[in-house]
Amino acid sequence: MDSKKETRTQEPGTRQTKHRIAVIPGDGIGQEVIPQAVKVIRASGADVELTDFDWGADRYLLDQITVPPDGFAMLGRDFDAILVGAFGDLRVKTNIHAKEILLGMRFKMDLYANVRPVRLLDASLCPLKGVEPKDVDFVVLRENTEGVYTDAGGVFKQGTPDEIATQEDINTRKGVERIIRYAFQYCERHTKLDGSPRKTVLMCDKSNAMTHAGSLWQRVFKEVSGEYPQLTAQHMYVDALCMHMVRDPRQFDVIVTNNMFGDIITDLAAGLQGGLGMAASGNIHPGKTSMFEPVHGSAPSIAGKNLANPFGAILTAAMMLAHLGFSSEAARIEATVLEAIRQKKTTQDIGGPLGTREAGEWVATKVSRS
């Protein structure tokens, strides 16, 4: 029940060179959009081996298992990347399976860099007036293993007038330094869609209110930025960043921030590129097995209705393939998604007449012929 593995064709004593990808559709619309992403991966011709896992609400409700005892170790040992859909199901009131699978994967596999590209493929998708694709081309790097998501804190005298609730924001020197350093390295090594170099790293915080955590982020950012004199280091409070993001997204290049602020501002940023259904992300630890997931959730209200936009999952698959070295296949997929948008071969949320399956099939067919 843990997985359904494809037959591997490998001669005894030879080295396995095919990239292995674990596929976990999860819950809700994840079970609809991930199969479309898989279809596109196969159509691209990328030499990968895909293995399906049934981790999610259905599995949890059947046997109360969220992740097998060696699940995360197995993923890190046996796979080069993980493609994940979404987690969340109204039948599981505590959402324990979502927490243990998704956050467990991020924390226990130490996937400390959440990479969320914000790219406007076509002007028709952006709600801002006069904005062109070249104006929205930045990336948000979110610390992925600390902050309030560690669930540190507690409740005292619950249910009484004297109830006290605390939620702790955990920031370690190691965690802060490595995500900030990753941001400068990312800026140095990646270009924009038009091929021009990235030049600016902006650190976002709320250090005027969160003085203790903010002091650590500020000091580390100043130290690490000094190692990259060729790049421009900037700072902005999170509330100001949100305002400027919708006023003039052209000013942003690489943004680095903590776990909670990264979660919030990337949902806002997704609105600039056509909504959550268009947004891709990767959860990275350089040199180790990394996980890729569309930004959207499980969307129970539209699950099973063939309405979900599969492009976020398909673009996530392209991001994963590029990470694995399949640059040309990834570029073909992204170009085909752009063609689908321009030809209105899309789901209703971005102006097209198609369902999830039909939009995915259109992209897969075009990719296979390109």
Least Cα distance to 102 among 69, 74, 67 occurs for 67
- Residue among 239, 288, 305, 344 flagged as catalytic: 239
Number of helical H runs and strand E runs in the chain: 12, 13
Q: What is the dihedral of CA 224, 229, 230, 231, to 10 degrees?
A: 40
Is the Cα torsion angle 251, 253, 255, 261 positive or negative in sign? Answer: positive
The residue type at 44: S
Reply yes or no on whether 174 is catalytic.
no
Specify whether the CB–CB gap between 347 and 354 falls below 8 A.
yes
Specify whether the CB–CB gap between 203 and 222 falls below 8 A.
no
By CB neighbour count within 10 A (0-12 exposed, 13-18 middle, 19+ buried), where does 99 fall? middle
Residue whose structure tokens are 């806002």: 268
- Residue among 39, 206, 345, 366 flagged as catalytic: 206
- Residue among 2, 52, 54, 267 flagged as catalytic: 267
- Provide the token pair at 106: 């991020």
Task: For residues 41 and 52, give the distance between their C-alpha atoms in angstroms, rounded to a whole number.
Answer: 14
Reply yes or no on whether 169 is catalytic.
no
Task: For residues 331 and 321, give the distance between their C-alpha atoms in angstroms, rounded to a whole number.
Answer: 9
Reply yes or no on whether 80 is catalytic.
no
Reply yes or no on whether 134 is catalytic.
no
- Residue among 27, 137, 253, 263 flagged as catalytic: 263
- Provide the token pair at 258: 């903590």
Q: Is 325 helix (H, G, I), strand (E, B) or coil?
A: coil
- Residue among 149, 182, 253, 366 flagged as catalytic: 149
- Provide the token pair at 88: 């969340």
Half-sphere exposure (CA, 13 Å, Cβ side) for 169? 17
Reply yes or no on whether 239 is catalytic.
yes
User: Active-site residues: which are they?
Assistant: 149, 206, 239, 263, 267
